[in-house]
Structure 1
């Protein structure tokens, strides 16, 4: 497939690397233009482009940028993208930690719905509830006895099928979260967020999510992060994320 990746941070960059290694034609972009991504693109065998170059003619686009940057994307950026091409949103809203407050999200609007409204296109929500280390290092071949799950939400069944195939290809079990409106179940502060669960445990965690509870848990996690050592291990972070829901 021809895959455009906008944003080459921890998640977007890792996906670009994995998908290029899998043989896809990958184009990468960020806010600095082609020169800003050229070195990374050469390293992974991708093509450096600007945001429009990432979208033009793509079979799939991965949008992996902070929410304030989403709001600043050109309103016509995706106008030429075929309707059949999925747009994957990997982002999360972190007010007070990274992002300025967005009133609509603070009032409870589902994050992926907000993103869809900003870009004027339907999206698929995926790769937002897995840690960058897990995505980069802990993928396993299909049918492996222990495999981490990644939640996938969206309203278009065919687009979701394509994205779930990508999840599987990069080493994880895709778990269908349901419609885009249900994607709040995989937002920061929910029981299935960044816990390295297998598919069955992930499904249970998604079902246990309580509407309106995630922001308070997310803020609690901010406090917990401050109590970790300056260089916490991956295991420390996973334990913290699981413990805040179990009460341990």
Structure 2
């Protein structure tokens, strides 16, 4: 990945939508653990949320829609959306590229994915050091914002807090376009977390798996040091160590990880 580039210095309800910000039309592709919470939190915050998966709207569980989200097809989810959020595995992003190609250029597209070789199969360019978010922009043929990728699903669903709450967890946001950054930051705040401007997509390797800020539940005050302390060449090795450590424990009744095990493990390995 090369030398680090310079740094720029039942779950709790989502906080109410700031009356000064308009309600947004949001399309979410994917209803895994992150997509489910995004649908619940953003609709609870007052946004018009449509959500789709690869199996059809009839397969989306009622609890995903409990705060007002609507189950639709993928085409309907992205149609006329102000924001499209991609909450699907990274290796499936090329499959949705034709759908995203029809989305207007001023629509904000936010990617939440991460590269895990065991799940995604090997992607040669990323293994050679290409920043994951830059690979995503190549596949989609457009700019994106990167957000919600650096928080674990349990923390995301259970640890949201009102603005100014004590020990509120921060989520890094990276983008190249000002509008993409501003919208992603506002929506992260609406989900109950402090949004932290992590710079450009070229710098977004600092929030990839294996980095000190990745799934370690840091506060806004802790985030700058974690981003600055990331070491590009060490990220893949640390990522794979964390996966191996979790897999070794899963299925053993005596050692099966609890919901916060990943946070504790990542703090030991990544920081």
TM over 0.5: yes
List structure 1 runs of 4+ shifted beyond 6 angstroms: none
Partner of 2:36: 13
Structure 1 position 92 matched with structure 2 position 114: yes
Contact 1:153 1:180 in 2 (8 A): yes
Q: CA RMSD in A?
A: 1.6
Aligned length: 244
Structure 1 position 66 matched with structure 2 position 74: no
Higher-RCO chain (CA-CA 8 Å, sequence separation at least 6): 2
Contact 2:134 2:201 in 1 (8 A): yes
What is the rounded CA distance, in whole Å, between the counterparts of 1:41 and 1:243 in structure 2?
Answer: 33
Contact 2:33 2:153 in 1 (8 A): yes
What is the rounded CA distance, in whole Å, between the counterparts of 1:237 and 1:72 in structure 2?
Answer: 30
Q: TM-score, normalised by structure 1?
A: 0.93
Pairing partner for 1:145 from 144, 163, 166:
166
Q: How does 1:79-228 map to 2 (within 5 A)?
A: 79-96=101-118, 98-228=119-249
Q: TM-score, normalised by structure 2?
A: 0.85
Classify 1:157/1:203 alpha carbon distance in 2 versus 1 (closer, same or farther; 3 Å): same
Show structure 2 runs of 5+ residues with no match.
1-23
Classify 1:240/1:115 alpha carbon distance in 2 versus 1 (closer, same or farther; 3 Å): same
Show structure 1 runs of 5+ residues with no match.
none
Contact 2:39 2:65 in 1 (8 A): no
Structure 1 position 36 matched with structure 2 position 92: no
